[in-house]
Structure 1
Amino acid sequence: MVAAGLLRTRSALGIPDFELLVDRWSQQVQLPWDPMDASSVADAVCLLLSDLARPISGEVLHVDGGFHAMATCLGSGSPQ
């Protein structure tokens, strides 16, 4: 499974406080991340579909610039 990072898509329009999430993402992401560019996610999917990934099974691949490894909160208060 690929856990894709924050991307501006049609479905993202339905996420409450999406712009706040984009702001927090840009402050806390460890690697460069452009929510308008899905190529990083597409590259990871191509890797998983290639023979290079044949021994990989039952894993979640986070393609989000490292954001999943950081604690954050959307409102005031401490990270959750």
Structure 2
Amino acid sequence: MENKASTRSPTDFLSTVLGQTVKVRLNSGIDYKGTLACLDGYMNIALENTEEYVDGRLNNTYGDTFIRGNNVLYISAEKSS
């Protein structure tokens, strides 16, 4: 019996979180949390209502943020409250 979750691709995941709150971890260890507005095939990301976290602490807030894909370590969905 095959696990249905294991057959999902990263593209499937990203399409389900478009418009949702995500956390983007950069290779540098800095985290950005915001609403995923769009992304492209190079994994360039546009976030809205973005918060920047350094060492787990809120460092700054931004309206719109653009992150180059080559800086991204991972993207995770944030749990809704």
* Structure of greater relative contact order (alpha carbons < 8 Å, 6+ residues apart): 1
> Larger radius of gyration, structure 1 or 2?
1
* TM-score in terms of structure 1 length: 0.28
* TM-score in terms of structure 2 length: 0.27
Q: Say which structure is richer in helix.
A: 1
